[in-house]
Structure 1
Amino acid sequence: MRPFPKLLAAAALVGSLLATSSPAFAEKIALVGGRLIDGTAELPIRNSVILINDGIIEQVGNTDSLPVPEGYRVVSTEGHDVMPGLWESHAHIMLVGHANYTHWQEAYRDRQVDEIMPAALVQLLLAGITSVRDLGAPLEDSVAIKERLRNGEIPGPTLYTSGPFLQAEVDEWQRHYRWEVKSIADAQEKVQRLHAAGMEIVKLIDHDDMDRSVAQAIVDEAHRLGMKVVAHAHKPDEIRIGVEIGIDNFEHTGLTTAPGYPQDVLDTLVERTATGIFDGLLFWTPTMEGLFTYPDLVANPEELDDACWERGLKPDTIADIKQSIAKPGHLSYSQLTPLRTPTIRNKINQLRETGVMMLVGTDSGIPMKFHCQSTWQEMAVWVHDMGFDALETIRAATYWPAVMMGVQDRYGSVTPGKVADIIAVRGDVLKYMNIVRDVDMVMKDGVIYKYGGVVDEALLSEFE
């Protein structure tokens, strides 16, 4: 993606983490003082110095080894952990939390590119998400929103898109964002259409209901064109067949209320992960926090009142979403969830033991999963409930998603030569992962959108 206009928040006040609201042109920045967790296997760097020129990281060191050259604007990160910008590996930017899908698709079909998708993107960005995989949307809307980002008309993360789902059968009301695929020729033609439109990903669901040769043709054509293929893992056969046809990344924990994955599925995953080296890794995005914490949300729905999810949305949209989620425990969408919740921990442990490379993703945008909240909540549950190592979790939200998409030469770590997508959180994120809910600084393409917890509203207004 082309960098946004080189507009930066004004210089930090001495001894303060508050930036002024007036944007100014500046191409050379030095982030100085914080502990750097750079996204690689390297140990954190205390008192770090990061030199950024024209949106690219030039050098990384610490205050003892890397003096700030003349001409760089110094931005303090003292007292903070500094990290690569986060990736949200499973988002739906055509959705912003409404609980009635059929109503949403009918009522907001014509408001996606001008209202809904830009709102989702700015909410993600201000939450520290600098790259996002959008998995399922009308093709024309995906093309249009990518064009708006490229032209600098709206702020947002680097966006990787799938366009419509590919599947065996589609209900009439879903046909604008889901495509049926019935034959090998149809599979090849539809994948080619997605690729020609600029989609980087193919999203395949219910592929166990397809003729095997058709599903194989989708994967083969996507790989021929350099695209990644992600697939649902809701059913055992989706996993079994998905491994055989060469899926790159499975999505969700799945299997409804079953206590765990069948042994033959686990054996298949182990065999697959045993054959993949760096370029052949098998990725998995479990999207499990919403399932795991749903009973807590029903007991205390206060987080649904957080105004962060209202940013960029019109008053009537906000009111419509609020009425749809007024009774979280009543939603038909979630009635099975309390029975699934107790199975999540075992399924996560089973997946970890198979050797799949797990990525942080949330299904952000589905009912009650807001773009401004979902990613940090997932990361916190990984560490504080599921027992993942904090550094492992950060890499699952930074480095490994970039590897999965084949863009690790430009994104995923705070290292020289990479794009300056950088965030900072106040405190020790390796001890308290949930502090990621309050990202103090957000830098995208070398542009600071948020500093000291304060959004640069003047900068955002430049896009309006």
Structure 2
Amino acid sequence: MPAIGAPIALTGARIVDGTGNAPIENGVLVITDGRITAVGSADRVDIPEDAIQQSLAGKTLIPGFINTHGHVGAVRGLESGHYNRDNLLRQLALYARYGVTTVISLGDDESEGFTLRDQQNTMELDRARLYVAGPVLSAQTPADASALVDDTAVLSPDFIKIRVDDNLGRTAKMPAEVYQAFSDRADHHGIPLAVHTYYLQDTKDLIRAGADFIAHSVRDTHVDSEFVNLMLTHNLCYSPTLTRELSTYVYESEPAFFADPFFLTDADPQVLATLREPERQQRLQNNAAAQQYKASLPIAMANVKILADAGVQIAMGTDSGPPARFQGYFEHLEMWMMQDAGMSAMQILQSATGGAAECMGLSDTGTLETGKWADLLVMGENPVQDIKNTRSLEQVWIAGKPVHLAR
């Protein structure tokens, strides 16, 4: 591994820089002190004389992936209740091994998560970056909503997170006057409001109320021109979380990805054995909510295609972290499903890199540009040709150093 601080030049790569620009062929990227100091075609970049050079001929270099909707720290195996620093670090290392170098944790974040967020602006970082929302907020009255935002703002969260959903008619939905109070008070503190939603009409109303980030797909019906115009007018980003829908029913039988070597590298055999239990699978087959979410997935996939084609910025997110939503792998699976939904590979890469960074207000990551942290991935195959080539991940670099090599 090169010494920290020594200039490093990665040469000969195809560079997809995350800005949406065309790939740079025979590109060079120079790293100094953990940050990018030059990037461009070989005939335009001067490599420092003392740089340590690494040839990436035939490889594709892209920014590290950003998951705009995850959850970190609480689950171990299939059990919740394990939120602690060691589990956070274990999960952030797992994300990193799959090339997810930044995770936005939208809820259930505790003090240890805030501490790790505050410790990551360093060249020594060797795990995924973490941004946090604190608790998922819920209230019965506008006054209570405002007070909860005030209490959470003291923690300096990156987002405020609320749920406006009735769990398919099984619970009471947050009233409009309450989520309006959440939005108004979040605005007062200058903290973006991320919303969990399900229904088209609720999502329209939340946009009008001032929501800043749509953290799930609209899944009850196809989006319409009014919704598209609201998203564009308010310049909002949309996180499809297709794998969230998938996870609710896919274990009714054995998923195809249980045979994927890219998945099995980090899979816990005990977890897989539990998910294969016939009784457990039968319960999912008979579970009305699971089957309704299964029916919702094609609607969600159609909607992400409609919105992407209309110019709405899609932000790759998975809601990974809860039991059986496999961190790291599900981010790749999400992107593959986005391709199945009709998005182009370049649209998808943008949704997971520069577009995601812009959506989440991140200025130091997401693109391979001068001055940014050198969080980057080396792919053996070109993901612009087929997004499923992300499984050819060979190297992960965080803060200018390779932290995980050759899966």
CA distance in 1, matches of 2:251, 2:175: 40
Gaps of 5+ in 2: 167-172
**Alignment pair present for 1:61 and 2:33:** no
SS of 1:46's equivalent?
strand
| 1:28 alignment counterpart | 7
Identity %: 24
| 1:404 and 2:359 are equivalent in the alignment | yes
Query: Would the alpha carbon gap of residues 320 and 329 (structure 1) be closer, same or farther in structure 2, given more than 3 Å must change?
Result: same
1 CA distance for matches of 2:318 and 2:305? Answer: 18
TM-score, normalization: structure 2?
A: 0.86
1:127 aligns with 2:109: no
Tell me what 1:5 maps to. none
Cα RMSD after superposing both structures: 2.9
Q: Which moved more, 1:370-379 or 1:328-337?
A: 328-337
Give the distance between the partners of 1:225 and 1:291, measured in 2 at CA.
33
| Counterpart residue number, 2:400 | 446
Distance in 2, matches of 1:363 and 1:64, equals: 42
Helix, strand or coil for the counterpart of 2:389?
helix
The more displaced of 389-398 and 333-342 is 333-342
Partner of 1:173: none
What residue number does 2:147 align with? 189
- 1:426 aligned residue: 380
Structure 2 SS opposite 1:368: coil
- Assess if the C-alpha contact under 8 Å between 1:121 and 1:155 holds in 2: no
Mapped to 2, the partners of 1:211 and 1:288 lie a distance apart of 26
Matches within 5 A, 1:59-208: 59-96=38-75, 104-105=79-80, 109=81, 111-146=82-117, 149=120, 155-167=126-138, 181-206=139-164
Q: What does residue range 164-313 of structure 1 map to in structure 2 within 5 Å?
A: 164-167=135-138, 181-206=139-164, 209-255=173-219, 258=220, 260-261=221-222, 266-276=224-234, 281-289=235-243, 291=245, 300-301=254-255, 303-304=257-258, 306-310=263-267
TM-score, with structure 1 as normaliser: 0.76
Displacement of 1:444 in angstroms is 1.0
The letter for the 2-side match of 1:80 is K
Deviation at 1:420, TM superposition (A): 1.2
Gap change, CA 1:420 and 1:353, over 3 Å in 2: closer
C-alpha distance after superposition, 1:39-64 (max 9, x if no partner):
11321111111111111111112222
- 1:436 is paired with a residue of what secondary structure? helix
Alignment match, 1:386: 341
Distance, in Å, in 2 between the alignment partners of 1:436 and 1:404 is 22
Residue deviations 1:358-392 (CA, integer Å, cap 9, x gap)? 11111112343211201111112212x11211111
Instruction: Find the partner of 1:359 among 305, 315, 319.
Output: 315
Q: How many residues align?
A: 392
- Deviation (angstroms), 1:439: 1.6
Q: Is the 8 A contact 1:97 1:369 kept in 2?
A: no
Give the superposition deviation at 1:144.
4.2
Contact 2:305 2:343 in 1 (8 A): no
2:341 alignment partner, SS class = coil
2:393 aligned with 1:436, yes or no? no
**Matches of 2:272 and 2:74, distance apart in 1:** 14
Deviation at 1:319, TM superposition (A): 6.9
